[in-house]
Amino acid sequence: MDAKSTQRKSETGGDAAQPRRPRVQKDITAAIGLDICSERYPVGSVLPKENDLCDRYGVSRTVIRESLKALAARGLVHGRPRIGTMVCEKEEWNILDPQILAWMGPRIEELDLLGCILETRRTVEPVAAEFAAERATVQEIADLENAWKRMRDAGADTEAFTRADVHFHELLLKASHNRVFRQLSSIIDAAMKYALHCSNKAVDKRDEALDIHRELVEALRLRDGAAARACSHRMLDLAARDLAPAMRQRGQAGRTHLTKSP
């Protein structure tokens, strides 16, 4: 009697013969976003007018417009009345957005994400650690320890390890009790995941990282700001070392800043 309860057809890519108003905006957004990231619509070009896009994708203008709005919010396109919707310069793209990272696929490497994320971490994390040492609540410190335990227990599961690692650094920024840092955390979240994933590929180096993470939690517990800061620096030195090959292999990468510990 539950023939009706089994109607959870979530066939995202399928065409299906049941034209019952499926949820398509995500797909349309992804399709256009993908076409932009793959330079099928090159930077500076104007994409087809909205009505043509409606025909091409077989949806109403509402959906097209919502999709374009979503892309505009990510800095991919910029619409002007009567002119059309133009693809923005890559400089304008919000490359920290998880969707864009997904749409870029392997081409992420062209963006020098690893470099600027590492620079940002070097700038912010030690300070955040120091702040956290005096401001974090016991609950927040406990949460950090739990995240550390999940890293420890991840075993060979690189995905799980990275997930816990990202969560750890997210919690650390939140524990700094600075609203801007906190917001920064959610902004760079997706990029952090990518960066940490690259760091963590070398399984044999994870024990070392694990130790430093634990030491950091210990420093917070002792309310020792200087020690927390130092831990953070060592952690980043480690990350820089592990990332060096991945970054060197494509030249660029800002000078010496990535490996020095001031």
Measured distance CA(254)–CA(259) in Å, rounded: 10
Q: What angle do CA 185, 190, 194 make, to 5 degrees?
A: 120
Should residue 36 be labelled a site residue for DNA when binding is judged by CB under 7 A? no
Minimum Å gap between C-beta 191 and a second copy is 8
Should residue 255 be labelled a site residue for DNA when binding is judged by CB under 7 A? no
State the residue for tokens 């870029």: 104
Minimum Å gap between C-beta 171 and a second copy is 14
Residue 226 tokens read as 């200087």
Give the 3-state secondary structure of 190-215: HHHHHHHHHHCCCHHHHHHHHHHHHH
The H or E element containing residue 47 is strand 46-47
Measured distance CA(35)–CA(42) in Å, rounded: 9
From the list a second copy, DNA, none, partner contacted by residue 146 (C-beta under 5 to 8 A by kind): none
State the residue for tokens 């997210």: 170
Residue among 21, 106, 204, 255 that touches DNA (CB under 7 A): 21
Nearer to DNA, 79 or 160 (CB): 79
From the list a second copy, DNA, none, partner contacted by residue 79 (C-beta under 5 to 8 A by kind): DNA
Only segment of 63-71, 136-144, 181-189, 239-247 that touches DNA (CB under 7 A): 63-71
CB of 150 within 8 A of CB of 137?
no
Cα dihedral 29/32/36/37 (nearest 10): 50
Should residue 156 be labelled a site residue for DNA when binding is judged by CB under 7 A? no
Should residue 65 be labelled a site residue for DNA when binding is judged by CB under 7 A? yes
Minimum Å gap between C-beta 258 and a second copy is 11
Should residue 14 be labelled a site residue for DNA when binding is judged by CB under 7 A? no
CB of 221 within 8 A of CB of 78?
no
Say which residues have a Cβ less than 8 Å from residue 5's Cβ, sequence separation at least 6. none
Residue 157 tokens read as 């599961």
From the list a second copy, DNA, none, partner contacted by residue 135 (C-beta under 5 to 8 A by kind): a second copy
User: If you compute the radius of gyration of the chain from its CA atoms, what whole number of angstroms results?
Assistant: 22
Nearer to DNA, 55 or 91 (CB): 55
Residues 68-127 that bind DNA (CB under 7 A): 68, 79-85
Measured distance CA(73)–CA(131) in Å, rounded: 32
From the list a second copy, DNA, none, partner contacted by residue 178 (C-beta under 5 to 8 A by kind): a second copy
Nearer to DNA, 8 or 179 (CB): 8
Should residue 182 be labelled a site residue for DNA when binding is judged by CB under 7 A? no
Which residues make up the interface to a second copy (CB under 8 A)? 94-96, 111-112, 116-117, 119-120, 123-124, 127, 131, 134-135, 177-181, 183-184, 187-188, 191, 254-255, 257
CB of 148 within 8 A of CB of 225?
no
Nearer to a second copy, 154 or 195 (CB): 195
Q: Enumerate binding residues for DNA (CB under 7 A).
A: 1-2, 5, 7-8, 10, 20-26, 49-51, 59-63, 65-66, 68, 79-85
